[in-house]
Structure 1
Amino acid sequence: MENLNMELRMEILENSLNVENLINGLIVHYLSLSEVEKSRNFSNKRSIPFQSKIDLLYDFKIFNKDEIFAIELVMFFRNKFLHVSSHNSFTDIFINNSSKKNELKKFSDSKMFEDENDYLQAYRKLQIIVVDIIKNKFIIKSDERIRLGDSIITHVNNHVKLRNSIFDEVQVLSDNLNRSILGEIESSEFHRLIFECINNLFSTLGDKTTDIFEDETFIKKLLS
Structure 2
Amino acid sequence: MTGAAIIIGAGDATGGAIAAAFARDGLTAVPVRRNADALAPLAERILAAGHACVPIGTDARDEAKMVALFDRVEADIGPVEVAVFNIGANSPMSILEETERRYRKIWELCALGGFLMGREAARRMVPRGRGTILFTGATAAVRGGAGFAAFAGGKHALRALAQSMARELGPRGLHVGHVVIAGAIDTEFIRSQFPERYARKAEAGILDPDHIAANYVMLHHQPRDAWTHELDLRPWVEPF
Pick the TM interval, shorter chain. Answer: under 0.3
Q: Which is greater in Rg?
A: 1
Structure having the higher helix fraction is 1
- TM-score w.r.t. length of structure 2: 0.24
Q: Which has the higher strand share?
A: 2
